[in-house]
Amino acid sequence: MAGLVVVRERPPTAKRFVFFTLEDEGGLMNVIVRPEDYGAKEE
């Protein structure tokens, strides 16, 4: 999975889940990242 991040959302009601929308020449893809996976790269 690869593409340009078009949207990143961290809604306060999503229990720290992060939502991305990726875009490439084929279209758009929605990605949901779990809190433990998103935080692993920030440390």
pLDDT digits (tens, 9 = 90+) for 1-43: 788 999 999 999 999 999 999 999 999 999 999 999 887 655 5
Extents of the domains making up the chain: 4-42
pTM of the model: 0.77
With vertex at residue 8, the alpha carbon angle to CA 1 and CA 30, rounded to the nearest 5 degrees, is 40
Distance of CA 9 to the CA centre of its chain: 7
